[in-house]
Structure 1
Amino acid sequence: MSGTVHGTAGEDRSDYTREENRAIRRRSWRLLISLLAPIRRQVALVAAVVVAQTGVRVLGPALIGLGIDQALPGVVERADWGPAWFVGAAYVATALGGAALLAWYDVLAARVTQNVLLDLRTRVFRHTQRLSLEFHETYTSGRIISRQTSDLDTIRELLNGGLNQLVHGVLYGVFTFVALAVVDWRSSLVLVAAFVPLSILMRWFYVNSQRAYRVSRVVSAKLIVKFVETMTGIRAGKAFRTEPRNEVEFGGLAAEYRRVNMRSIRLFGTFEPGLMAISATAIGAVVLWGGIRVAEGAFSAGLLLTAVLYVRNFFSPLQEVAMFLNSFQAAAAALEKVSGVLEEDLTVPDPIRPVPLPHARGALRFDDVTFGYGEGRTILPSFDLDIPAGQTVALVGTTGAGKSTLAKLLSRFYDPSDGRVTLDGVDLRDLDGRDLRRAIVMVTQEAYLFSGTVADNIALGKPDATIEEIRAAAEAVGADAFIRSLPDGYDTDVNKRGGRVSAGQRQLVSFARAFLADPAVLILDEATASLDIPSERMIQEALQTLLADRTAIIIAHRLSTVAIADRVLVMEHGRIVEDGSPAELTAGTGRFAQLHAAWRDSLV
C-alpha cells in the first residue's frame, strides 16, 4: 500500500510524529473540502446568513448606549418620547431580525450537515466494500463499525452545533471588537492587552485537548471492537466459559475510556475559570478607566455602558469557541480515522481498460506466479499450472501448503506479486469485474447467509432468478426437502448468520446459490466440511451432474470428495509434488497414496 499514513497502520496509535500529524491533517482537510465542494453554494448561503445574523446582534449594545445618551435625556428633560420609541423599535427589530436569521441559519446548517453525512457515510461503505480481502482480514469488523457509527456521530455533532458555536463566536468577537473600537478606541486597547493571556490559554487548551481526544477515539474504537467480537463469538465464549475474562477485559477498557474522558473534562474545567478571570479583569479595567473619564466629563455614561457590554459580549462567545474546540478535537480525531480508511489503497484495483469476457470457457493458467501475504513469507514461489476448460481438479495437501491461496488468487481476492493468473488467456487483472464474478464462483467452508429469505440468499448471484429456477437449484444439491420443512419454506427469514438453519443446511444453501449462478469455474474450498456423511454423499451425486462441462477446483481434506475429480494435485510448501488421476495416485506409493491409506484407516 502506498501513502503516508493508513488507517490500519495508525488505528491504534495516538503518538504520531510531527510529519505524520501534518500528513493526517492534510488528509483530513482534503476529505472535508471534497465533502463541501459539491454543496459550496449552500455553504456560501449559510456563511452569508450567519454574517448577517451576527451583524444584527452586534447593534444591540450600541442602541442601548444611544438610548441612554440621546433618548433618555429627551424624555426626562422635554418629555419627548420620539427618540425613545425609535431606539426601542430599532432594538426590537434587531432582536426579531436576529432571531429570524438564526432560525434560517439552523435550517440551512442542518441541510448542509445531512448532505455531508450522507456523502461521507456512503463513501465509507462503498470504499470499505471495494477494499480487498487483505484489508478486511487485518482491519476488524468492530473498527469498521466504529468508523460508521461513533466516528460519524461525532462529526455530525460538530457540524450540527460545533460550527455554529465557532462561527458565531469568532464573527461575534470580531464584530464586537470593531464596534467597540468605533465607539471608544481606548476601551478596545484593554481587549488588545487581554489578548496576550487569552491566546496563551486558548493555545494550551487546543494542544492538550487534541491529544486527549485522539487518545479518546483510539480507546473508543477498542471498546467497540471488544463488544462486537464478544457478541459475534458468543457461542465460542459460552462454550469455553470466557464470560468472566470478557467482563474483566471490557471493564478495563470501559474504565480507561472513562479516564481519558475525565482528562478532557479536567482540561475544560481549567480553561473555563481561566477565561472567566481574564474576562472579569478586562471588564474591571474598562469600568475603572471609563469611570474616571466619566467623572472628568470626557466620557458619557451611555458610552461607558456600551463599552462594558461590548467587552462582556466579546468574552461570552469565547466559551462557545471553547465548546467548539471540545467538539472539534473529538470530530478531528474521528475524521482522521475515517479519512484513514478512505485513503486505503485498493490492492486489487479495477482495470482501467477492462477486457470483456461475457462467455468464459473456463481454461485457467498460473504463469510463473509468486505470492505472499503482506510482508510475510512467500506462499507460492514461481508457480505454474494449466487447467483445461471443463476439468475437475482436486487440491490436497497439508495445512499451509497453499491450496486456499490458490483459490483466492483464482477468485481474485488477491493479485499475485509476480506473474499472472489467466482465464481463457486473459489476465484476471484485466477482466471486467462483472464478467469475472459471473465466470468464477467460490464456495467456502463458512456459508454466510444474509438477512432475508432463503430464496433471497439462493438468488444472491442471480437476483433476477425466478422461484422455479431457485427451487431447481435447491433440488439439484438436495436442499429442497429441508427448505420446504421450514416454517415459511423458501420465504423463511434466515435471520443474521442463518440462525434458523444448521451449519450443514447453510452450506447446502450456499451450494444452491453457487449452482444457480452457473459459473464457468466453480471453486469449492473445504465446502463439504460442515456436511454430515449422508449430506456429503448427496452433494457428491449432485456434483457429478452439475460439474459436467464446467471447470471445478475442489479443495478438501475429506478424500471421499476427491473421487469425483478428473485430476488430483498434491501440494507441499506452495509447489505441486504430485499430479495425476485419483486412481493413478492411489495405486502409487507417493504422498497421495499415503494420505488415502491414512484416510481409509480412519474410517475403519
Structure 2
Amino acid sequence: MSDEKRTPTAGAVSVNGQAAAPAEGGEGAATVKATERPTTGRSFGPPGGIPGDKSMNFAPSAKRLLRRLRPHRVHVGAVILLAIGSVSLAVLGPKILGRATDIIFAGAVGKRLPSGVSKEQVIEQTRAAGNGRLADLLGGIDLIPGVGIDFDALRNVLMLVLALYVGSFFLSWMQGYILNGVVQRTVFELRSEVEDKLNRLPLSYFDGAPRGELLSRVTNDIDNISTSLQQTLSQLLTSLLTVIGVVTMMFVVSPLLALIALVTIPISMVLTAAIAKRSQTRFVAQWRHTGALNGQIEEAFTGHELVKVFGRQKEIEESFAKKNEELYQASFGAQFISGLIMPSMMFIGNLNYVVIAVVGGLRVASGTMSLGDVQAFIQYSRQFTQPLTQVASMANLLQSGVASAERVFEVLDAKEQVPDDATPAKVLESRGRVEFEHVSFSYTDDRPLITDLSLVAEPGQTVAIVGPTGAGKTTLVNLIMRFYELKGGRITLDGVDITELTRHDLRARIGMVLQDTWLFGGTIRDNLMYGNLKATEEDMLAAAKATYVDRFVHSLPDGYDTVIDEEGSNVSAGEKQLLTIARAFLADPQLLILDEATSSVDTRTEVLVQRAMAALRSDRTSFVIAHRLSTIRDADLILVMENGSIVEQGNHQQLLAVDGAYARLYNAQFSGALTGVDEEESVTTPA
C-alpha cells in the first residue's frame, strides 16, 4: 500500500490533455498524507466542507438567483405580458358575474311586485307602509315591477364571463409554457456553469471537500433550485398581479370595503416576515444535514467491504441513525415553522371575509350597493387573500430553493486555479528533460514540506523515488503534473517553465499510473481507448498484449466489449491495474509517472508487467515511486527522500555501497529486521 493518499486522478491516466477526473492543478491545501494534510481550511468554509448554520441574507441570494434570468429577458417579458393579460381577464370576471346576480335578483324581486306600476311608486308605497329598510333595498335594485328574470341579458352576461375565463386560461397556459422553458434553460446553464467551474477549481478544493457533500450540491441542490423556480416564479408573478388587479377592482366597486380589506395586508406581511425569518436558518440546516448524510452514505457504501471486514456495521448504522435524526429534526423544524404561514393567512382571510360580508350586507340593505357588487366584492376578497395565501404557502419552498442556491453559489464563488498564460510558451524540441530548480512547496504556509529541492532527470532516464511514509514522493510527481502551484523555485520541461505552458499542453506529454486505479462505466475497449482517442483497434490490441491485458480479457464472456461498472467490481484489483497500465501504454506519453503501479498484481504478473514497462519506459523519461525496492533496482537514478528533501541519489549499487538511508530501507525490506530505524521513528505498540 502506498504511503500517500492519491489524488482524485488516481489510476485514471492523464494523457493527451485529458484528465480522468475533473480536478486540475491549483493552489491550496491537499489531502496527500497524514503528515502533510492540513487540518483546517475546507473549501466550503467551515471545517467539514459544509456551510454553517447561518446563510447569506435571503434577499441578496434571491436577487442573485433571479439575475440568472437576464439572458432570457425577452421570454421573461413575454411571460409578464401574458400574465398581465391573463390576470386582467380573470379579475374582470367577478364584476361582470355580479351583473348576472343583479339580473337574477331583480327578476326574482320584480316578479313578486304588482305590474302596471313604476318602481318609484312601489318604493313610495312601501315607505308609506312604514317599511323604510325594504324601500331602501328596492331603491338599490334595477327592476321592473311584474317582470321576471331577463334570460337573454343573463345569457349574454354568462357568455361574456365564459369568454373571459377561457381567454384567461389560454394566456395562463402560454405563460406557463414559456416560463417552463426559461426555468429549465436557466437551470441547464447553471448546471453547465457548475460543471465548468469544477474543471477550473484546484485539486486542493476537492481534497478538502467530502465527495458526498459536493455531489449533493451539484445534484440535489440544483434539482431543488429547479423545482423552486418552476413552482414559485409563475405563482409569485400571478399572485402579485392578481393582488394589484383585485385591489384596483375593489376600489372601483366600493372604496370603503376596499380599505377594510387592505387592513389585512400589513398584518399578513408582518406575520409572514416573522415566521419566514425563523424558518430560513432551519432550511439551511436541512440542506446542510442532507449533504452530510449523503457524504456518510457515499463513504459507507464505497468502503462497504472494509465495513464488513472490520465488523463495523453497527457503528455505521448508529452513525446513519444519528445523522438521519439530525436531518429529521432540521426538516421537521423548517417545514413546521414555515407551514404555520398558510393557516395564519387563512385565519386572517376568514376574518376579513366576515367583516366584508357584514358591512356589505348592511350596505345592500341600505340601498347603497347592489347585491351583485357585494357578491363581486366577496369574490375579490377571496381572490385578494388567495394570492397572499399562495405566497405564504410557497414561502417554505422559496426559502428552501434560495438555501440551495446559496450552497451552489459557494461552489461558483470558490477560488479558481491560477489561469494559464495568455501567451503560452511552446516546447520547441521535445526530449523529456525535467529539472527542479530550488523548488519549495507546502500545503499549508506554517508547515513547509519541500524546501530548496533541485534535481535533473535526463531524457530517457528512469528516475526512482523512494523514502519513508510522508517524505513527499507523490507530492513531487504531482508538482510535475502541476496539480499544485509551487511556493518557490521552478520546474522546467525541456528548458521551458511548466507554468508558462498550458495545462493541456503539459499534461498531453505525461502519462500517469497510480496505485489507486479508476475505471469508467463502459466497456474494456472504452477504458483503454480513453488513453488515446485517436488510436486504432490494432494499436489498442498491441497495448493490451504488451501489458498482458489481452490474456485475461479473452477469458471474459464478451472480451473487449465486456461492460465494467464505474468501480470495476467485476474485474479483480490486479486486472484493473493492468488496464490502467495498458491505458498509459496506448497513450505513448513523453513523460511517464508510475506511482506503485504494480502494487495490486501478483508476483508472476508483476515480473511480466515489469518487462512491458521497461519497454514502455524506453526512449522516454520516467518517474517511478516504489516501496518494493526490488522493482527499481535497474533505475538509472534513485532518489531517496526524507522530510521533503533528497538525502541520497545514485543507482542501486552506488547507494548500497554508501550504506546510508537507502541501504537501511533495502536491508529492512529484504532481511525482515528493523535495524537502522531511528528511535524517534519506531512505533511503540501498547500491550
Q: Could you say which TM-score interval applies, normalised by the shorter chain?
A: over 0.9
1:425-574 aligned within 5 A: 425-574=495-644
Paired residue type of 1:68: T
Match for residue 13 of structure 1 among 51, 54, 69: 51
Matched-pair contact (CA < 8 Å) for 1:568–1:579: yes
Q: Which residue of 1 aligns with 2:67?
A: 33
1:4-153 aligned within 5 A: 8-9=44-45, 11-16=49-54, 21-22=56-57, 26=60, 29-30=63-64, 32-34=66-68, 36-69=69-102, 73=106, 77=144, 78=147, 80-153=150-223
Question: In the TM superposition, what whole-angstrom CA distance separates every residue of 1:510-569 from its partner, at most 9, and x where no partner exists?
Answer: 111111111111011121211222122112212222211101001111101211210111
Matched-pair contact (CA < 8 Å) for 1:364–1:423: yes
Q: Partners of 2:78 and 2:494 in 1: how far apart?
A: 57
Match for residue 182 of structure 1 among 252, 257, 264: 252
RMSD: 2.3
Q: Which residue of 2 aligns with 1:291?
A: 361
Matched-pair contact (CA < 8 Å) for 1:397–1:571: yes
Paired residue type of 1:482: F
Q: How many residues align?
A: 597
1:196 shift after superposition:
2.5
Unaligned ranges ≥5, structure 2? 1-26, 29-40, 111-143, 675-687
Matched-pair contact (CA < 8 Å) for 2:228–2:398: yes
Matched-pair contact (CA < 8 Å) for 1:390–1:550: yes
Paired residue type of 2:546: A
Q: Partners of 1:367 and 1:349 in 2: how far apart?
A: 22
Matched-pair contact (CA < 8 Å) for 2:421–2:500: yes
Matched-pair contact (CA < 8 Å) for 1:478–1:508: yes
Residue 8 of structure 1: SS of its match in structure 2? coil
1:589 shift after superposition:
1.6
Unaligned ranges ≥5, structure 1? none
Output the TM-score relative to the length of structure 1.
Answer: 0.93
Question: In the TM superposition, what whole-angstrom CA distance separates every residue of 1:132-164 from its partner, at most 9, and x where no partner exists?
Answer: 221111112211221233212211211222222
Q: Which residue of 2 aligns with 1:193?
A: 263
Q: Partners of 2:445 and 2:381 in 1: how far apart?
A: 61
Q: Partners of 2:66 and 2:102 in 1: how far apart?
A: 49
Paired residue type of 2:44: T
Matched-pair contact (CA < 8 Å) for 2:335–2:396: no
1:233-248 aligned within 5 A: 233-248=303-318
Q: Partners of 1:436 and 1:493 in 2: how far apart?
A: 32
1:293-308 aligned within 5 A: 293-308=363-378
Output the TM-score relative to the length of structure 2.
Answer: 0.83
1:197 shift after superposition:
1.6
Matched-pair contact (CA < 8 Å) for 1:360–1:439: no
4+ residue runs over 6 A deviation: none
Q: Partners of 1:65 and 1:349 in 2: how far apart?
A: 68
Q: Partners of 1:438 and 1:593 in 2: how far apart?
A: 37
1:6 shift after superposition:
8.7
1:369 shift after superposition:
2.0
Q: Partners of 2:176 and 2:42 in 1: how far apart?
A: 35
Residue 622 of structure 2: SS of its match in structure 1? strand
1:211-230 aligned within 5 A: 211-230=281-300
Q: Partners of 1:196 and 1:315 in 2: how far apart?
A: 12
Q: Partners of 2:59 and 2:213 in 1: how far apart?
A: 21
Paired residue type of 1:409: L
Q: Partners of 2:428 and 2:608 in 1: how far apart?
A: 32
Residue 497 of structure 1: SS of its match in structure 2? coil
**Identical aligned residues as a percent:** 35
- Structure whose alpha-carbon radius of gyration is higher: 2
Match for residue 406 of structure 1 among 461, 471, 476: 476
Paired residue type of 1:293: R
1:463 shift after superposition:
1.1
Whether 2:352 is the aligned partner of 1:316: answer no
Matched-pair contact (CA < 8 Å) for 1:152–1:334: yes
Matched-pair contact (CA < 8 Å) for 1:394–1:568: yes
1:472 shift after superposition:
0.9
Whether 2:384 is the aligned partner of 1:384: answer no
Question: In the TM superposition, what whole-angstrom CA distance separates every residue of 1:428-482 from its partner, at most 9, and x where no partner exists?
Answer: 2221233212101211101111111112111112112112101111222222211
Matched-pair contact (CA < 8 Å) for 1:28–1:339: no
Greater relative contact order (Cα < 8 A, sep 6+): 2
Question: In the TM superposition, what whole-angstrom CA distance separates every residue of 1:154-195 from its partner, at most 9, and x where no partner exists?
Answer: 112112222222122222112111111122111111133222
Return closer, same or farther for 1:408/1:253 CA change in 2, 3 Å cut-off. Answer: same
